Amino acid sequence: MRLTIVGQLKGQLTAATRIAMDRGAAVTHAETIDQAMRSLRAGRGADLIMIDVALPVRELTEALKAERFHVPVVACGVDNDARAAVAAIQSGAQEYIPLPPDPELIAAVLAAVADDARDLVFRDPVMASVVQLATQVAASSASVLITGESGSGKEMLARHIHARSPRAAKPFVSVNCAAIPEQLLESELFGHEKGAFTGASARRIGKFEEASGGTLLLDEISEMDVRLQAKLLRALQERVIDRVGGAKPVPVDIRVLATSNRVLADEVRRGTFREDLLYRLNVVTLKIPPLRQRPGDILELATHFAKKYAQLNGVGMRPLSASARTEIVRCAFPGNVRELENMIHRAVLLASGPEIGPEAILSPEGAPMAPRGADPASRAAEAAETITRNFVGRTVADVERELILDTLGHTLGNRTHAANILGISIRTLRNKLNQYDDEGFAITPPQGGVAAA
């Protein structure tokens, strides 16, 4: 994980740096916010920024937003400065780390905010064969296309390939092609020169150059506009890219992996995906089976997530009871591993007693999970009827507000984990909470008075 620390490196901040490095982070330092922004524009990317609370945190978060750098920010400062901590959170920091630094807290924040501590967990023979093939091709430089349903673990497999490749010590850079507006994706991938378009106030290095020597993951590549696909094809074929507004080609040395939850051959027939680009990408194709086709992974993953979220939420480690394990096995998971992960996260927060019991194995609406093998049409009808009974007569805004505030309460005020459960960005959650606070609704405060992980 790439960590940038902004501020004067002295005393306790230096100790925090050493702890982060001991935990495997590659740390760079910028004394000022301007230096940090220049570093990002130059392609020295960051997965997480830690800033001294004595610096203007809002200036940093607004600069990142203005230049479309999607990097989480954590503030840090002396442990008795609660007022500065709250101000930092209000200014856009995701979390606050009190100093002097606690090694376990820093480790938890690195894992929770940067999400760089995810393991590829599997046991089912069907999944084992996919992982074996991925490991086999990892040592090559070939492009790999990873397909599978949403939530099945495509990015996890891509990280597995990178970690076992000769490029493992270099950056792993991921771009979600579905999340970036079409008019901005070209600049995000290839960079731009100063003055290339309105708002381009300085040269910016794109993800191709940022991933130099390492691996670039094009997540959900099927969502890329067909016109931009032509420029991508040239970059893959000739290993050069053109910055927007640039005068000369720039050579790049990267390995490209791509994912899609669609069948790209079908998209080729529809005319929404270039056939020559498909051939360039799928030198090797890895298809991840949905969770329903790998039942041997369910309990292995559930146990892993139970341990993970107990640690991240600072609650006692509770094993899954025998009856809870039976309940999990019988559940249907149309949302695949992501749905299972969210369900276990809820269970960790809702459970009481020495074990996680079946009463904590619930859907986001608080109802029992649908059984595996149940008729999909019947499940859909039953779910629709339940939702209608609960929500009829209420506005969408009322329902959304109740869901957000209830989830924040379940996470004991931890905004990062609430956003993960809700499937929204921390920025969106923060904006919603500010709105509700202005409207006079009670907001669950984080434990300790600050947004600690």
Instruction: Tell me what pLDDT residue 79 has.
Output: 61
pLDDT band at 155 (very low <50, low <70, confident <90, very high): very high
Render pLDDT for 36-92 as a digit per residue (tens, 0 to 9).
998 888 877 788 898 988 899 999 999 988 887 888 898 888 766 677 778 888 888
pLDDT(199) > 80: no
Instruction: Tell me what pLDDT residue 68 has.
Output: 76
Instruction: Tell me what pLDDT residue 453 has.
Output: 38
Instruction: Report angle CA 256, 262, 264 to the nearest 5 degrees.
Output: 65
pLDDT band at 451 (very low <50, low <70, confident <90, very high): very low
Q: How far apart are CA 20 and CA 17, in angstroms?
A: 5
Render pLDDT for 357-389 as a digit per residue (tens, 0 to 9).
999 999 888 888 888 765 455 455 544 554 555
Q: How far apart are CA 58 and CA 33, in angstroms?
A: 10
Q: How far apart are CA 50 and CA 73, in angstroms?
A: 6
Instruction: Tell me what pLDDT residue 44 has.
Output: 79
DSSP assignment, residue 152?
Answer: S
pLDDT(198) > 80: no
Contact 112, 312 (CB under 8 A): yes
* Residue of 176, 274, 174 lying closest to 221 (CA atoms): 176
Q: Mapping DSSP to helix (H, G, I), strand (E, B) and coil, where does residue 331 land?
A: strand
Q: How far apart are CA 240 and CA 378, in angstroms?
A: 53
Render pLDDT for 120-136 as a digit per residue (tens, 0 to 9).
899 999 999 999 999 99
- Overall average pLDDT of the 324-340 stretch: 93
- More confident of the two residues 46 and 236: 236
CA atoms within 13 A on the CB side of 178: 11
Q: How far apart are CA 362 and CA 370, in angstroms?
A: 9
pTM: 0.68
Q: Which domains does the chain have, with CATH numbers?
A: 2-114 (3.40.50.2300), 125-291 (3.40.50.300), 294-377 (1.10.8.60), 393-449 (1.10.10.60)
Instruction: Tell me what pLDDT residue 449 has.
Output: 42
DSSP assignment, residue 269?
Answer: H
DSSP assignment, residue 102?
Answer: P
Buried b (16+ CB within 10 A) or exposed e, 284-314: bebebbbbeebeebbeebbbbbbebbbbbbe
- Strand 240-241 to 250-251 pairing: antiparallel
pLDDT(221) > 60: yes
pLDDT(105) > 60: yes
